Chain A
Amino acid sequence: NAGVTQTPKFRVLKTGQSMTLLCAQDMNHEYMYWYRQDPGMGLRLIHYSVGEGTTAKGEVPDGYNVSRLKKQNFLLGLESAAPSQTSVYFCASNILAGGPYEQYFGPGTRLTVT
């Protein structure tokens, strides 16, 4: 099992450019999440998905869009990147919501917007 993988690992964008971050999991998990982590801070939830074809907003959704067309993939899009979106982005998945279920995290994507 590869677990949770993220593509790309690093990216530098200019203000106004767009990009898509890809998250893939091979554990057949229903729930997937996108977080961002700014320096010295904990993780903040951007968007999440409770199953194929469904998405919902988290704590900091503005400026991002997501799609979950296949169960194993969760895409995070930035339509017009801003310097405030410079951050490390983590994807995570778990088999069911809440409770005792362990959340598995990817290695992160480090994004710099200049």
Chain B
Amino acid sequence: DAKTTQPNSMESNEEEPVHLPCNHSTISGTDYIHWYRQLPSQGPEYVIHGLTSNVNNRMASLAIAEDRKSSTLILHRATLRDAAVYYCILRDSDNYGQNFVFGPGTRLSVLP
């Protein structure tokens, strides 16, 4: 199974941009890159996903390296509500739930 590597923790100031990196050097051609986040005492929630091109939505942007071996989740203006654990996950388009692997993620702290 393709694995991802993320920093254990990061810190940001409120209203500043945050760049959360993820390495996935063994990614295959059919793997989608997903980001989820988990607020304290809640279940994970979807943030964004992409395959090859950069993606934007109302929550964040996803920048994918040209060789797809790394990606960066960008929060344009961090708020206190963005303090959470962020998970970078690879999902094969052909397989079932077995390959939806959550690592320890990156714990983002947002300072007022």
Chain A interface residues (CB < 8 Å from chain B) = 4, 31, 33, 35, 40-45, 48, 50, 56, 58-59, 90, 92, 97-100, 102-108
Contacts and interface: CB of A to CB of B under 8 A. Distances in A.
Given A43-B102, A45-B98, A48-B96, A98 B91 contact: yes
Interface residues of B, number: 27
Given A98-B32, A99-B94, 13 more contacts: A31-B96, A33-B97, A33-B100, A42-B87, A45-B98, A48-B96, A48-B97, A58-B97, A100-B91, A102-B46, A103-B36, A103-B100, A107-B42
A58 B97 CA distance: 8
20 contacts: A31-B96, A31-B97, A42-B101, A42-B102, A42-B103, A43-B102, A45-B101, A48-B98, A50-B96, A98-B92, A98-B94, A98-B95, A99-B32, A99-B91, A99-B92, A100-B51, A102-B46, A103-B100, A105-B44, A108-B41
Contact of B43 (A40, A99, A105): A105
A103 B46 contact: yes
B49 interface: yes
Interface of B: 30, 32, 36, 41-46, 49, 51, 87, 91-105
B51 to A, nearest CB: 7
B96 A42 contact: no
Contacts of A44: 102
B53 to A, nearest CB: 13
Given A48-B96, A98-B96, A99-B91, A42 B104 contact: yes
